[in-house]
Structure 1
Amino acid sequence: MDAAAALAAVDRDPGSGLPLAERAARRAVRAGHAAAASTAERAWGHALLHRGDLAGAVRHLGRAVAWGTRAGSPELTAEARHKLAFAVLQRGRPQAALREVDAALPDLTGVAAARARAQRGIVLHNLGRLDEALGEYDTALRVLRREDDRLGVQRMLINRALVHADRHAFAAAARDLAEAEQLARELGRPLTIGLIANNLGLMETLRGDVPAALRHLDRAERIIGAHGAQLGTLHQDRAELLLSAGLTAEARLAAERAVSTYRREHRHLKVPEVQLLLAQAELLAGDPGASGRHAAAARRGFRAQDRAAHAELARLRLLQARVAGGARPRVPAAVLDAMLATLATAGWPGAATDAALVAAGLVADGRPYLARAAAAARSRGPALVRARGWYARALQCRAAGDGPGTLAATRAGLRILDEHGWAMGATDLRVHAAAHRADLAALGLETALATGRAAAQLEFSERARASRLPATPVRPPDDPVLTELLARLRAVTRELAERPGARLLARQAALERRIRDRSRHVTGGSAGAADRPASARALGSALGEWGLVEYTRSNVITIVDGRIRVRPLGEIGDLVDRITFAATRLDHPATAALLKDAAARLDARLLGPLPEVRGRPLVVVPTGPLHSLPWSLLPSCAGRPVTVAPSATLWLHAHARAAGGGPVVAVAGPRLTAAAPEAEAVAALHGGTALTGAAATVEATLAALGTAGLVHLAAHGRLSADNPLFCDIALADGPLVVYDVERLPRVPHTLVLAACASGRPVVRTGDELMGLGVAFLARGAAQLIAPVLPVPDLSTRPLMIAFHRGLAAGRAPAAALADAALRHPEAAGFVCIGAGFR
């Protein structure tokens, strides 16, 4: 009786049932009661399985088999065998697990046989034999439903859902998991609800819904962690999700946690799977050598486990790493064909598409492989798989000499990725997801350059940069939890300013992580205008007397008087770094000379070859390090109105944005001697309001930002390159961060951020930008004036007063800044960003 009660208790909650199983097993062994000992040892082993003690689980389940044999009960022996099979599987021996299940099945009937069939399905799933696994689950479910074994049905539904998800039958997977969760609630199994949430997260990852997946995984971690159960699978699923969103550094950390957890728990089966994720993460991060090492280790692990399909997946990742490293491995066509067939049969369409693309580059005639990869373009698979299909279709067209077809295919692939990115509400997710656009965007730009058509080059230059900014911004819903977390972050930051310490720094980092994770739950909208880059005609009409200069990595595009021209861009080397270094050290004669020389040389390379823009006010669209260049330091830009824009499309949207009216507000942050006089002088020039001292709180500033037409912020600014959404401006009660800006219902038409480096963006793949100034543009500001360099407090005040006098007299922001800079050299660090002459 004790043994049966212990087994039932472990089924309900392995953690609390473990002590009961231990006591029951010891009593049964002392009494020599073989049947009870087999049952209790099985319960003990089952509990240890859930706690991650695989060695202990195998030991006790082995004893359960032995006691069942001693009791002369084939049924007890078989029950223990199929549970032992799961433990053996987790230790990385799937073939041995299959032998245990097959040995158990002849001695089981009814519900017990159904459960063993389900265990066989789990083993087959891990071996990549998805159709066979699904058949076993279907057979088992019919028996369990007939016998009204609700616990068995719940378990079976979870396992079948995972097979459905791997086959990309997401609707079927969702139905199974919803029914399983309902049964778990009725049966009072809270840990199981956490495991189901984990599986929902995995399913949404495969489907491509990143915010939904994050919500499920965060819920799973709370529940599973509260019950002290295994977290290795959750870390693995989180790594896969983060990788799909392009968050390679976070994915690597999650994968490393999964590996260490699996090794600690002796769950060797899962280690090669995570090594594959590490291989992908390193490849996306640009380290093919490390990627290849992880892929090779994974392949060795899979081969030792007799997991043929997974070993072929590891072969694919190894080939991708070698190709990315510049090698051209010699692989027989028969081996490539076998790899492709295995991956397709295993139900991994994304891997099969990647394999076809790799194979196409390794054989003399890759057209048949490209055709196979291109088939994914019109499939019903996830966005990333369909986009890879369009990339293959573009390569097909290029091989056939079909330039228009190549461009059409790249447009289609980029459109899918834009829709995928805009389904994510969080800025960092959208920015990092843009990494998946890199191959398509580069191919489109390369093809456009080869056509010699300037309009096509402009189009694909635009498609390759800042794709998220021109579309309608996503405002997160009001969230009291996020509001509370931001308030707590401000309180900790205030304490740190007064008494720095490791404990407070740890609290600050933990709060920032919670704010980041919470914000990622928000679902986005549609790509909208982001799919339609500005045309040369529309830009020419809006520019008037101004000239537009847009830089790519290798070319420069100009539009003047409606005419578009394209020229090669000379090498700029480290000149931007030299200028930014020297501009912050002007008190030293050597750096002054360095600045003058570097600025003259860079000016000659960037603007010297462009006679059509001489003497004209400029709209500049930078790339890479040019986003951080203080343009007024270039000799030809001295006294010249220049406005900078992340893309020509964004500039056109900003230029068309009418001023919404509203008051003028100037805000002064703490610990700056000249900030309050500066704010009061600016407010007086415009007949506006100044917020200074204790009145300049985050709440008051956000209220002003939500109602004013022009806001001037004079405060300390902080650039957080590692975590750009925590770039901030210091106010009386703590920092105003990017997350605060993103929650505003509206922002002013024009902003002046007189705060160090507040206009300097953090540049990600595809010229996607993050930072405080970018956040205001993304929310709808038409233009802002901000420094890309540190600026001195006391010398900024006369500059800002001169600038605002120009604004008050009706000068456009770019012109007012250029005028002020002639009289105040300290203006060198400031740039005008956005519309500029509205």
Structure 2
Amino acid sequence: LFAGQRRTWWETHARLVLIEARVACGAASGRLVQDTAAVAEKLASFGAPAAPEASLLAGRIALALGWTADAERHLAVAARSRPGGPPLARMTGWAAQALRARAAGSRRGVLEACRRGLDVLDDHRMTLGASELRARATAQGAELAALAQQASLAHGGPRRLLEWSERWRATVLSTPPTRPPADPALLTSLTAFREIASRAEDARRQGRPVLALEREQRRLEREIRSRTHHIRGSAPGGGDRFDPGRLLDRLGDARLAELAVLEGRVHILLCGQGRVRRFEGGLLAEAVAEAEHVQAGLRRLAHPGAEGRLAVVEAAGRRLEELLLGAAADHLGSGPVVIVPPGALHRVPWALLPSLRERVLSVSPSAGSWLRARETEPPPDGRHVLVRGPGLATGGAEVPEVAGRYATARVLEYDDAQVPRVLDELDGAALAHIAAHGTFRADSPLFSSLRMADGPLIVHDFERLARSPYRIILSSCDTARLASVGADELLGLVTALLPLGTAGVVASSAPVNDAAVVPLMLALHKGLGAGLSLAEALRDARAALPGDAVHQATGWAFAAFGAA
């Protein structure tokens, strides 16, 4: 089409996309190297920023064919873009330099090029104000991070591999998102979105047409997304730098197991007792498939009458342990355990794994995120907020009883549980408990929501808080579900809260039985009242539940995130 229209610039870019697609499907030939080099030359003649990308691709194909001289020539051309130009072109140059160093057998050269390239991307993503854009930008650094990890695995120790695993993991959580400005138009759009979404949900329940309402809701979502995407970020800088020594000092008698994925296989980096050890697990693809089977089983067990599935789910938990912990399961010690999974494994119900069931267990998107949560100080006033949303099967039955445990608790329910009032009370609270219907939006994770009296409370609303609650309990279905975007980033309710001052979250990664949630929440708050951490209280609450399948599945579905 572009060739017929004589739109040469577009035609050449389209040819690059076609070549990238063929390479992704496994194609590699001398003709493909020549075609890619020709595209690179033409792009360079236009001054197009994609020219280094095409030269890098030609070098990659030549390396795959074993043509080292041709590869060096094309990679050298791509590497010239390192000093200046757009961030993507500069990163492409450093990726080319890393490949040149690897071909020359220089591990130090590979790591230096990867570090310099990721520094460029760090500076770029920090100019973006929206957490969604920051997360998606990290995809450009995936190759550099993988090259550094491979070099560390081949020639470095487990500690070096841990550093590079952390270098490009959950970077969105390393600094709080830029606060949305006091934009009256944005606030108006958010209010209108809540009203339309609430009306659409009421119409669905009543069997009335919703097409026009859904169309307006999508329009408002686009408007909100556009306004938040145009927020400028802070000054360049990569946020906190991860320090393995500080992590090992803070762990005490706990163990932290970070799961790194290299060339499709899981590697367990077990931190504790002043050192980092590496164990090999199974294939990531097998673990992801097993986790999906477990999730399907938990959904079935949320309903009475599915007791026969319990043995199947427990067997899947044993297989997951073999794939994800391997021999590391025998070296977890007797203290608390922190699991740091990659984005692809965020839906694993870790409490189901046999070696973790009776432990004090928490989950964190990164070791650095756990450290920051561990060092977060609670607010001085100790305010407790309990929220009860509409439409729950039990009516949020645990809320009145939990309120009795805290003499000064502020309870928001019925018409008081409207988003503006809820946000006012949540800001800076010591403990928040929200019993509400949760909805996860895989297509747009920052529109994942909790249902309040006046409509959905979405992630964009939480990002407007000056400080989110120090501890927050989300007594809802699917509140721990996250969308994996970028290189290894996660977007959703939990990850929106952690950089805003929340040290610990309890949330569910699966649909749960509303009635079975009530005794779990009451036991959880009993533990908190006795001075336990969220992870300790959740461990004891699971043990206190009845032994039937519904209650066991409910306990496994909830996890403690962070370090409070």
Question: What TM-score, normalized to structure 1?
Answer: 0.61
Q: Is residue 2:561 matched to residue 1:827?
A: no
CA contact under 8 A between 1:784 and 1:833: conserved in structure 2?
yes
The CA distance in 2 between the partners of 1:333 and 1:759, in whole Å, is 45
Q: Which residue, 105, 108, 111 being the options, matches 1:404? A: 108
Q: Is residue 2:516 matched to residue 1:808?
A: no
Q: Which runs of 5+ in 1 are unaligned?
A: 1-270, 273-299
Q: Residues 277-300 of structure 1: CA distance to partner in whole angstroms, max 9, x if unpaired? A: xxxxxxxxxxxxxxxxxxxxxxx5
Post-superposition shift, 1:529? 4.9
Listed as ranges, the matches of 1:154-173 within 5 Å are none
- Correspondence for 2:419: 698
Q: Is residue 2:234 matched to residue 1:525?
A: yes
The CA distance in 2 between the partners of 1:312 and 1:330, in whole Å, is 19
User: Match of 1:605, as an amino acid?
Assistant: L
- Correspondence for 1:639: 358
- For the residue of structure 2 that corresponds to 1:597, the secondary structure is helix
Q: Is residue 2:321 matched to residue 1:603?
A: yes
Post-superposition shift, 1:306? 8.6
- Correspondence for 1:772: 493
Q: Which residue, 726, 746, 751 being the options, matches 2:447? A: 726
The CA distance in 2 between the partners of 1:752 and 1:612, in whole Å, is 31
Post-superposition shift, 1:654? 0.9
CA contact under 8 A between 1:749 and 1:780: conserved in structure 2?
yes
- For the residue of structure 1 that corresponds to 2:379, the secondary structure is coil
- Correspondence for 1:162: none
Q: Residues 132-163 of structure 1: CA distance to partner in whole angstroms, max 9, x if unpaired? A: xxxxxxxxxxxxxxxxxxxxxxxxxxxxxxxx
- Correspondence for 2:278: 566
Q: Which residue, 344, 347, 350 being the options, matches 2:44? A: 344
Relative distance call for 1:807 and 1:474 in structure 2 (3 A) is: same
User: Match of 1:355, as an amino acid?
Assistant: S
Relative distance call for 1:323 and 1:608 in structure 2 (3 A) is: closer
- Correspondence for 2:372: 653
Q: Is residue 2:394 matched to residue 1:678?
A: no
Higher CA-based Rg:
1
Post-superposition shift, 1:720? 0.8
The CA distance in 2 between the partners of 1:769 and 1:306, in whole Å, is 39
Post-superposition shift, 1:395? 0.9
- For the residue of structure 2 that corresponds to 1:469, the secondary structure is helix
- For the residue of structure 2 that corresponds to 1:584, the secondary structure is helix
Q: Which runs of 5+ in 2 are unaligned?
A: 205-209, 546-551
The CA distance in 1 between the partners of 2:39 and 2:368, in whole Å, is 43
CA contact under 8 A between 1:455 and 1:564: conserved in structure 2?
yes
User: Match of 2:117, as an amino acid?
Assistant: G
CA contact under 8 A between 2:484 and 2:491: conserved in structure 1?
yes
Q: Residues 511-547 of structure 1: CA distance to partner in whole angstroms, max 9, x if unpaired? A: 1121111211111114645462x22211110110100
- Correspondence for 1:42: none
Relative distance call for 1:333 and 1:462 in structure 2 (3 A) is: closer
Relative distance call for 1:526 and 1:354 in structure 2 (3 A) is: farther
CA contact under 8 A between 2:16 and 2:36: conserved in structure 1?
no
- Correspondence for 2:243: 535
Q: Which residue, 783, 789, 805 being the options, matches 2:510? A: 789
The CA distance in 2 between the partners of 1:766 and 1:656, in whole Å, is 26
- Correspondence for 2:54: 354
Q: Is residue 2:321 matched to residue 1:621?
A: no
- For the residue of structure 2 that corresponds to 1:632, the secondary structure is helix
User: Match of 1:328, as an amino acid?
Assistant: A
- For the residue of structure 1 that corresponds to 2:172, the secondary structure is coil
- For the residue of structure 1 that corresponds to 2:180, the secondary structure is coil
User: Match of 2:559, as an amino acid?
Assistant: V
The CA distance in 2 between the partners of 1:796 and 1:605, in whole Å, is 30
- For the residue of structure 1 that corresponds to 2:402, the secondary structure is helix
CA contact under 8 A between 1:549 and 1:619: conserved in structure 2?
yes
The CA distance in 1 between the partners of 2:123 and 2:504, in whole Å, is 27
Listed as ranges, the matches of 1:573-612 within 5 Å are 573=287, 574-586=289-301, 587-610=305-328, 611-612=330-331
The CA distance in 1 between the partners of 2:429 and 2:52, in whole Å, is 54
The CA distance in 1 between the partners of 2:26 and 2:239, in whole Å, is 34
CA contact under 8 A between 1:558 and 1:565: conserved in structure 2?
yes
- For the residue of structure 2 that corresponds to 1:361, the secondary structure is helix
Q: Residues 99-147 of structure 1: CA distance to partner in whole angstroms, max 9, x if unpaired? A: xxxxxxxxxxxxxxxxxxxxxxxxxxxxxxxxxxxxxxxxxxxxxxxxx
Relative distance call for 1:311 and 1:678 in structure 2 (3 A) is: closer
Post-superposition shift, 1:339? 4.7
Relative distance call for 1:335 and 1:783 in structure 2 (3 A) is: closer
CA contact under 8 A between 2:39 and 2:54: conserved in structure 1?
no
Post-superposition shift, 1:368? 2.3
Relative distance call for 1:763 and 1:809 in structure 2 (3 A) is: same
User: Match of 1:699, as an amino acid?
Assistant: P
Relative distance call for 1:492 and 1:332 in structure 2 (3 A) is: closer
Post-superposition shift, 1:549? 0.3
Q: Is residue 2:158 matched to residue 1:436?
A: no
Q: Which residue, 159, 173, 179 being the options, matches 1:475? A: 179
The CA distance in 1 between the partners of 2:326 and 2:41, in whole Å, is 56
Greater RCO between the two (CA within 8 Å, min separation 6)? Answer: 2
The CA distance in 2 between the partners of 1:465 and 1:671, in whole Å, is 37
CA contact under 8 A between 2:468 and 2:500: conserved in structure 1?
yes
Listed as ranges, the matches of 1:356-375 within 5 Å are 356-359=56-59, 361-362=61-62, 363-365=67-69, 366-375=71-80
Q: Which residue, 408, 427, 434 being the options, matches 2:131? A: 427
The CA distance in 2 between the partners of 1:787 and 1:356, in whole Å, is 43
Percent of aligned pairs with the same amino acid: 37
- Correspondence for 1:111: none
Post-superposition shift, 1:361? 3.1
User: Match of 1:828, as an amino acid?
Assistant: W
- Correspondence for 1:390: 94
Relative distance call for 1:679 and 1:400 in structure 2 (3 A) is: same
Question: What TM-score, normalized to structure 2?
Answer: 0.90
User: Match of 2:273, as an amino acid?
Assistant: D
The CA distance in 2 between the partners of 1:333 and 1:775, in whole Å, is 44
RMSD: 2.1
The CA distance in 1 between the partners of 2:447 and 2:279, in whole Å, is 38
Relative distance call for 1:807 and 1:360 in structure 2 (3 A) is: closer
The CA distance in 1 between the partners of 2:238 and 2:331, in whole Å, is 30
Post-superposition shift, 1:639? 2.3
Listed as ranges, the matches of 1:154-553 within 5 Å are 272=2, 300-301=3-4, 305=6, 307=8, 313-331=13-31, 339-359=39-59, 361-362=61-62, 363-365=67-69, 366-378=71-83, 380-500=84-204, 501-526=210-235, 528-530=237-239, 532=241, 534-553=242-261
Q: Is residue 2:441 matched to residue 1:714?
A: no
Q: Residues 745-778 of structure 1: CA distance to partner in whole angstroms, max 9, x if unpaired? A: 1111111111111112111232211111211113
The CA distance in 1 between the partners of 2:494 and 2:535, in whole Å, is 16
Q: Residues 289-327 of structure 1: CA distance to partner in whole angstroms, max 9, x if unpaired? A: xxxxxxxxxxx547xx394x7655554443333222211
Moved more, 501-510 or 394-403: 501-510
The CA distance in 2 between the partners of 1:334 and 1:759, in whole Å, is 48
CA contact under 8 A between 1:468 and 1:530: conserved in structure 2?
no
Relative distance call for 1:385 and 1:692 in structure 2 (3 A) is: same
Aligned residues: 534
Post-superposition shift, 1:387? 0.5
The CA distance in 1 between the partners of 2:200 and 2:32, in whole Å, is 62
CA contact under 8 A between 1:548 and 1:560: conserved in structure 2?
yes
The CA distance in 2 between the partners of 1:598 and 1:476, in whole Å, is 43
The CA distance in 2 between the partners of 1:640 and 1:736, in whole Å, is 33
- For the residue of structure 2 that corresponds to 1:609, the secondary structure is helix
User: Match of 1:715, as an amino acid?
Assistant: A
